[in-house]
Amino acid sequence: MNAEVLISELSFKAVRSSGPGGQHVNKTASKVEVSFNLETSEAFSEIEKERLQAKIPAKISSEGIITLQCGETRSQHKNKVIVIERLIELLQQNLKVPKPRKKTKPSKSVIERRLKAKKENAFKKANRKPPKLD
């Protein structure tokens, strides 16, 4: 992933926010929406694009566009910085290749300890019952 190329491919749109700010919110467009076209991007290789499409299909539209928005602060510039950080974090988290799981086996001592505890518990419960009179 090339972050500089990615940032240059982003398209921004400012809209009116519903967040904090009182009357200020009604007059200014402080919420920022960022759109990123994954399919036409040159910031990712084909393998990375496939991995992202497989991992976050809910965030990608049918046209291959990822859209995020931020209206947390009253400042459009701060919201723009926040939404760029969120997008980069989202993409980095979903590009990570998970380590393959190594199968492990419990050790003999652990197995023996478990079986010993089971026998002790069974003996304890068996002693709670009244004796059988044959």
Domain extent listing, the chain: 3-95
- The predicted structure's pLDDT at residue 75: 87
- The residue ranges of the chain whose pLDDT is under 70 are 19-22
**C-alpha to C-alpha distance for 95 and 51, rounded to whole angstroms:** 7
How is 53-116 classified by DSSP, letter by letter? HHH-TTTB-TTSEEEEEE-SSS-HHHHHHHHHHHHHHHHHHHHPPPPPPPP----HHHHHHHHH
**Are the C-beta atoms of 30 and 78 separated by less than 8 Å?**
no
Phi, psi of 2 (to 5 degrees): -110, 110
* 3-95 topology per CATH: Double Stranded RNA Binding Domain (3.30.160)
- The predicted structure's pLDDT at residue 102: 94
Give 96's DSSP letter. P
**Other C-beta atoms lying within 10 Å of the C-beta of residue 82:** 17
